[in-house]
Amino acid sequence: MKISSIPQIYRNVNRWGEILSVLSKYGLATWIGRLGPDFAKDLLKAPGGTAIARGSWETRVRLALIELGPTFIKLGQVLSTRPDLVGIELANELQALQADVPADPPEVVRSRIEEELGQPVETLFAEFDDQAMASASIGQVHRARLHSGQPVVVKVQRKGIERKVAVDLEILAGLAPMVERLPEFKNYRPRAVVAEFQRTMRRELDFAREQRNMEQFARDFRHNTMVRIPKAFPELSTSRVLTMELIDGVKLSETDRIAAGGFDLAAMARHGANLYLEMIFLNGLYHADPHPGNVVLLDGGVFGLLDYGMVGRLDEAMQEHISQMLLAIVSQDGEMLTSVVTRIAATPPELDRAALGVDLTDFVSHYGSQSLDQFDLGGALGEMTEILRRYNMLLPANVAMLIKVLITLEGTGRLMNPHFSLVEVLKPYQKKLFWRQLSPARRMRRIRRLLGDIEHMIEVLPRGIVDILEQVESGRFDVHLDHRGLEPSVNRLVLGMLASALFLGAAVMLSRSVPPLIGQLSLPGSIAAGFSIALSLRLWRAISKSGHLDRHD
């Protein structure tokens, strides 16, 4: 632990105690579940009464996050979108995380609204329902009606949540470096996860960002009459209060109600998929939480999208990479898939590219043999993510999120139509992306970026050359070499030379009977011989443990 982390531990000592207590309890449950007697497995229980030790490791992680509170529940929800970090099984388990948080009392909600908007609730709204429609870890939602008669929903941030989140984020930032030192957690990259989570939480706490997202989606679909984006009311919104149009429809999970309304479920599944693929591959901004509760069906087959707290963004280059990756999977091109994933993923220095290529070729051979109408895109993306995780390859956050969105999208489509195939819906977009890459406008943008880079290089290159020549001329030019991995070898070399010198010195003193003597043996010679033998054994043990005693690379 760093000394610099002591002040924040002191500041948040109570919360540190709560967190360590919960982690200890679930760690003990893991030990009991693995080694303890059967009767002991019912001793430790989660708040809901579940016997912790009888659940799987993934279940215990989920229960621990629930007990730790809203921030950690959000952390689990973020990790559920990163199977490349935590693995498919844990990511799937964390999808079940929901914050079961009681709503703030009406007087607290009204006080919060009046504090943010500067007027009494009765002045701002003709009607305001004190009973929350929904309550989550960050905020809660209430029905209301404007003086114009329009029904709206008001999303209000929970009282004190900013302080709670700030404390938990500070603690997570302190825990991450310590956890990363443990071998079993090193591959989960705790510091990278916490850094990404901090960015996510700051965005979720800013309702003004969600409002801007809604306005951007409204602009993107202004000519599409089959999509309904809630209208935000900026004059009744701040970073902690968001007022938006009420969209009341049938959730996609309610397939019986959709069928009873006379809708063609297969057509609706295809239409919804087209809507999301247009966001992803044409607009570059997409709704990143397409589970059935966040998409509603309105009269006339119009889709209404809810909850814009989590959105994804893709630039043109990343859209191309994703399209190439999907095309490689479908067309059984393992070499192309290997090339794409090594370009977009962070790869470790020791990556065995040949072995990765073999695994990905076997992977595409399996899935490429499936017909398009039977192609399991969700299963394919999940298996590919697991392969990348085995090789310690880390996908960019936006790509990992997109993979999760595509898997969820296919699952939602098959909920409405068991024969739904996302790959079939994808085919036209691959062609559109291909032709867009060849468009003159796209070429001109690339040329402008290239010319800008060349111009910058031309500007800085002469000055850089002059600086180097001046340093050479004045004798200040230094070349710094970073010798990686040589320290253990140098230490062993020095230790070997020291052991040899001691042994030779001991031999001379013993042969010359250097006093004081014990019997006929020189005492200094015997001590030096003992030290030399001990050092030699220490050196032999270190080399043997490293595995490099007699191995030739």
Query: What does the pLDDT read at residue 3?
Result: 46
Q: Report the chain's mean pLDDT, rounded to a whole number.
A: 80
In a domain, 216, yes or no: no
pLDDT for the residue 143: 94
The tally of domains found in the chain comes to 4
- Residue 539 CA, distance from chain mean position: 43
In this structure, is residue 218 part of a structural domain?
no
* Statement to judge: residues 282 and 393 lie in one domain: yes
pLDDT at 234: 93
Residues 289 and 317 in one domain: yes
In a domain, 226, yes or no: no
* 117-140 pLDDT per residue, tens: 999 999 999 999 999 988 877 888
pLDDT of residue 156: 94
The stretch 146-175 carries a mean pLDDT of 88
d(CA 347, CA 338): 12
Mean pLDDT of 61-76: 81
The pLDDT value given to residue 139:
86
DSSP track, 435-456: HHHTSHHHHHHHHHHHHHHHHH
Please choose, from the candidates 153, 335, 135, 165, the residue with its C-alpha nearest in 3D space to the C-alpha of residue 245: 153
Report field, pTM of the whole predicted structure over 0.75: no
Residues 460 and 512 in one domain: no
Stretch 145-157: mean pLDDT: 94
For residues 170 and 47, state if they share a domain: yes
Tell me how far apart the alpha carbons of residues 219 and 494 are, in angstroms, rounded to a whole number: 69
Lowest mean pLDDT segment, chosen from 289-293, 368-372, 375-379, 416-420: 368-372
Count the neighbouring beta carbons within 10 Å of the beta carbon of residue 222.
10
What would the pLDDT profile of 91-104 be if each residue is shown by its tens digit? 888 877 765 567 88
pLDDT of residue 181: 76
- Give the residue-averaged pLDDT of 506-522: 82
Helix, strand, coil tally for the chain in percent (to 5): 65, 10, 25
Cβ 324 vs Cβ 275: under 8 Å: no
pLDDT at residue 103, as a whole number: 83
Answer yes or no: do 415 and 499 share one domain: no
- Please tell me the predicted confidence (pLDDT) of residue 368: 67
- Residue 125 maps to a domain: no
Is residue 427 predicted with pLDDT exceeding 70? yes
Q: What is the pLDDT, as a whole number, of residue 229?
A: 92
Identify which has the larger pLDDT, 48 or 115: 115
Of 97, 67, 68, the residue nearest 80 (C-alpha): 97
Decide if 370 is inside a domain. yes
Q: Are residues 293 and 396 in the same domain?
A: yes
Q: Are residues 348 and 365 in the same domain?
A: yes
Residue 191 lies in a domain: yes
Host domain of residue 23:
3-99+163-202
- Res. 433 pLDDT band, cuts 50 70 90: low
pLDDT at position 543 is 77
Interval 287-324: pLDDT, tens:
887 777 788 888 888 899 888 888 888 887 888 888 78
pLDDT band (50, 70, 90) for residue 502: confident
Tokens of 332: 């059984």
Digit-coded pLDDT (tens) for 321-357: 887 887 787 777 888 888 888 888 888 888 888 899 8
- On whether both 407 and 452 belong to a single domain, the answer is no
Residue 468 CB-density burial (10 A; 0-12 exposed, 13-18 middle, 19+ buried): exposed
Distance between CA atoms of 198 and 78, rounded to whole angstroms? 11
Q: What is the pLDDT of residues 542-551, one digit of tens each?
A: 777 765 555 4
Residue 326 shares a structural domain with residue 466:
no
Q: What pLDDT does residue 126 have?
A: 95
**Cα diameter, the chain:** 112
Q: What are 154's strand-pairing partners?
A: 142, 243
What's residue 151's pLDDT? Answer: 95
Assess whether 498 and 455 both reside in one domain: no
Report pLDDT digits (tens) over 1-53.
454 554 555 456 777 777 777 766 666 545 445 545 554 455 555 555 566 66
Pair 65, 195 in one domain: yes
Bridge partners (DSSP) of residue 145 are 127, 151
| Confidence band, pLDDT 50/70/90 cuts, at residue 166 | confident
- Judged against a pLDDT cut of 80, whether residue 198 lies above it is answered with yes
Clarify whether residues 452 and 433 are in a common domain: no
pLDDT digits (tens, 9 = 90+) for 448-461: 877 888 888 888 88
Task: Report if residue 146 sits inside a domain.
Answer: no
Report the distance separating Cα 128 and Cα 120, nearest Å: 11
Nearest Cα to 329, choosing from 394, 383, 258, 405? 383
At residue 389, the pLDDT reads: 83
How confident is the model over 53-63, as pLDDT tens digits? Answer: 666 777 778 88
Task: State pLDDT tens for residues 390-404.
Answer: 888 888 888 888 888
pLDDT value, residue 550 = 52
Of 142-156, 242-256, 419-433, which range is least confident? 419-433
